[in-house]
Amino acid sequence: MLVEREADVVRYFVREDFNPGSSKQILAYMRAKGIKPGRNYKTGADSTDHDTLVKLARKDPFFAKILEFREVQKIKTTYVGPNLARAGQDSESRIHSQFLHAPSNMRLSSIEPNLQNTPDDDDPISLARRFRNCIVASPGCLLVEADFNAIEAVLTGYFCGDLNLMRIATMGVHSLVLANLLDEPVDLSWPDAELARALSTIKAKHKSTPEYRGCKAAVHATDYGGSAMAVYMANPEVFGSLKRAQEICQLYLDLFPTLPPWWKALRERASKEHYLGGADHPFRYKHWFWDVTAYDAKRGKVPGSDWNKVCAFYPASTAAGVLYESALRLTDPASPYFIADLYFGKTPLRSLIHDSILGEIPISSLDHYIDRLSSSMTLPLRQLPYKNEDGNPAFLSFGVDIKVGRDWGSMVPIKQYKSTKILTFQKGGDHSGQEERQEEVLDVSTGPEVTSLPAPNSQEPS
């Protein structure tokens, strides 16, 4: 006879240590919780990629912790560890990056370390910003970074023949798109000063919102022919839906309808001739393109790997040329902008990063350095002639935003820095208390966000 009764059963198991860096274990957690993983679009395999975890983190804090761990690991393994080792091998605790022309559009890249991709974050307590805080100037010196103001956006307007885009790019094209998205009153017929103030106000009001970040991401990608799908897939947490990304991208194209015909002409020409540039490039750069379009057995003619690269070539490579020309003027002893001996008889230039020049300069030479640096970078360029809004011939020039700081992560606009009235020492004055006063300057957190030095069009073109 069978009798049912309760019995204590002892079960033994070994708890496996959890490795937050293991995609296999994260997938196992997902399956145990009944959570659908992401998908690798190339292999079709289950994925724990960043976009997937960002979506899941909204509902399960476990995935937020995994994202935090990955951020820490990236900073540690990519930047902190290797750079500490390199600095330890240098007598002055400096790191010396190697610069390459790995991007085919003439942009600089760098390795050991990769300064071009050193993360920049507006959040003062982020890990990315903390790493930049570790890059410091030597005693008695400051780091100075001069960044061309919206140079690629301006050049995009230049090459597609859109004076309106050239004008708005320097004022805040992301803010203009957002204003139209939110139906805020902005009229392109307003005078430049009034329009710039309105767009600046919109940026200050919405800068930290997903809407502004979405407009910024959409403009950057769309300038070079990127699709709404690609924009959404790169920033799903910002847009929330593909429909929203499509709406913003289309709004931008409605504001600047000259872009699609320009892309089409570039793609057709590159597909036929297999190159762009050369005689018609401002700096005579030439780029070969062999995969503008490809053939698919089911879909026929489809975009190739160079489909969007051709759209980026002229603005990106020309921006690189403008940066190189500016740097050459600064290092040419025969140039009126020569500054290559201002760091105790040596060059103060430390790196060319994207559209900016990073330098390290003694505080006593700061005014002199900034004067020559900004003058060199804002010169009208003979290589970029055009007809202005009045139909008169002119040469294109660019404004420059300049920031100053003791370290790379705590830099403030030069106007904000100067507002403390303790920028430099007077000749023959008492120089005591230099470092204490300097720290006071760098703690200032008020004032304008950026300082743009207008391009001096009255100067003789370079």
Tens of pLDDT, residue by residue, the chain (462 residues) = 556 666 666 666 667 788 888 888 989 888 888 888 888 777 778 888 887 888 888 888 898 899 888 888 887 887 777 777 777 777 777 878 788 877 778 888 887 777 777 766 665 556 666 778 888 899 999 999 999 999 999 999 999 999 999 999 989 999 999 999 998 888 888 999 999 999 999 999 998 888 999 999 999 989 999 889 888 888 877 888 899 999 999 999 999 999 999 999 999 999 999 999 999 999 999 999 999 998 888 888 889 999 999 999 999 999 999 999 999 999 999 999 999 999 999 999 998 988 999 999 999 999 999 999 999 999 999 999 988 888 888 899 999 999 999 998 888 898 766 554 333 333 333 434 433 333 333 333 333 333 333 333 434 455
3-state secondary structure of 135: coil
CA–CA gap between residue 145 and residue 361 (Å, rounded): 11
Q: Model-level pTM?
A: 0.79
Do 343 and 295 share a structural domain? no
- Residue-range definition of the domain harbouring residue 326: 136-149+316-453
Q: For residues 30 and 51, is the Cβ–Cβ distance under 8 A?
A: no
**Could you say which of 312, 329, 354 is where a domain stops?**
312
Of the candidates 124, 96, 122, the one whose C-alpha atom is nearest the C-alpha of residue 111 is 96
Both structure tokens of 4: 């049912």
Q: Are residues 302 and 254 in the same domain?
A: yes
Closest alpha carbon to 119 in 133, 136, 105: 133
Burial status of residue 225 (CB atoms within 10 A of its CB: 0-12, 13-18, 19 or more): buried
My answer on whether 233 and 299 are in the same domain is yes
**d(C-alpha 354, C-alpha 147), whole Å:** 9
Q: Which residues of 231-246 are buried (b: 16+ CB within 10 A; e: fewer)?
A: bbebbbebbeeeebbb
Domain limit, last residue, from 312, 343, 372: 312
Let me know whether 433 and 354 are in one domain: yes
β-bridge pairing 46-47 and 293-296? unpaired
Residue 218 and residue 253 in contact, taking contact as beta carbons nearer than 8 Å = no
Please name which of 255, 233, 182 lies closest in space to residue 212, comparing C-alpha atoms.
Answer: 182
Whether 103 is in a domain gets the answer: no
Task: Decide which of 289, 312, 335 is a domain's last residue.
Answer: 312
Structure token pair of residue 171:
């004022």
Reduce the DSSP state of residue 90 to 3 states and report it: coil
Which pair of structure tokens corresponds to residue 205? 């009001």
Tell whether 305 and 159 lie within a shared domain. yes
Residues 295 and 359 in one domain: no
Are 145 and 157 part of one and the same domain? no
Residue 182 in contact with residue 211, Cβ under 8 Å?
yes
How many angstroms from the chain centroid is the CA of residue 125? Answer: 19
What does DSSP assign to residue 343? B
Determine the Cα–Cα distance for residues 260 and 340; give it in Å rounded to an integer.
43
Q: Are residues 295 and 326 in the same domain?
A: no
178/283 same-domain check: yes
Q: Does residue 440 lie in a domain region?
A: yes
Measured CA to CA, the distance from residue 48 to residue 50 in angstroms comes to: 7
410 three-state secondary structure: coil
- Residues 6 or more apart in contact with residue 432 via CB below 8 angstroms: none
Where b means 16+ CB within 10 Å and e means fewer, 276-306 reads bbeeebbbebebebeebeeeeeeeeeeebeb
- Whether 100 maps to a domain, the answer reads no
Distance from C-alpha of 238 to C-alpha of 233, rounded to nearest angstrom: 10
The number of domains in the chain is: 2
Residue 374: which CATH number? 3.30.70
- Is 347 in the same domain as 285? no
Evaluate whether 457 touches 380 at the Cβ level (below 8 Å).
yes
Could you tell me if residue 94 is inside a domain? Answer: no
Q: Does some domain include residue 274?
A: yes
98 - beta bridge partners? 111
Same domain, 145 and 229: no
In a domain, 24, yes or no: no
- Please report whether residue 65 resides in a domain: no
The reply to whether 174 falls in a domain is yes
In this structure, the answer to whether residues 325 and 286 fall within a common structural domain is: no
